[in-house]
A = this chain, B = another copy of it.
């Protein structure tokens, strides 16, 4: 927290037009950003090779080569936020840049307030990295964010209920889960006694999980109690 306030962010401005470049430098410097400058694509490349900034302000209308190419090559290595500067009417290029991973854009002429707001927002976002919510159990992998499940490499498709059910299992590997617990987790408080619907879904889930060779039995039933997702130790 403290270090964020002391260490000023480093911004690289890539812009060939002097008045605009100067405006950017002055505005940003006045707010305690460290600013480097580049007038051409080439200069930008050498600057990036020397030091990677915390944020890139990129004009798309550079004299030598398009900013698009610079963005593409930057994105192959770094994930720093990039804000595009574009002129009115250059919609196509702007969208192309955004699709390539640019974070935001400013259309000339822009207000300094808006510039600073976008810079702040971009820097704030770049600090929040996503937790790689990925659960694994043997050759089973469950991606919380993408809602994808892969078994021994290739993807298998689950219905929403099946996914929730498997999620409950994978967050409690090798642990007994009672019928009530599973029903409460997946279907909610009101379904706690409907064990039939649970059995049907466990059945369907098993069919999909055992499809490749039918060897391993992931879900073990605990008679009279519930189910358990076995760990991959082939005892």
Contact = CB atoms under 8 A, between A and B. Distances in A.
Interface in A158-178: 160, 164, 167, 171-178
Pick the most buried of A94, A98, A167: most chain B CB atoms within 10 A of its CB. Answer: A98
A173 to B, nearest CB: 7
A121 B175 contact: yes
A57 to B, nearest CB: 15
Contacts of A145: 144, 167
B144 A225 contact: no
A130 B122 CA distance: 28
A125 B175 contact: yes
A53 interface: no
A178 B99 contact: yes
A176 B104 contact: yes
Interface in A52-98: 91, 94-95, 98
Contact of A180 (B99, B103, B133): B99
A231 interface: yes
Contact of A131 (B98, B103, B133, B173): B133
Contacts of A177: 98
Find the residue from A103, A176, A180, A224 having the highest chain B CB count within 10 A. Answer: A176
Contacts of A147: 164
A171 B130 contact: yes
A226 B98 CA distance: 10
A10 interface: no
A147 B144 CA distance: 10
The 8 nearest A-B residue pairs measured at CB: A121-B174, A131-B131, A98-B178, A99-B180, A91-B224, A99-B178, A95-B178, A103-B175
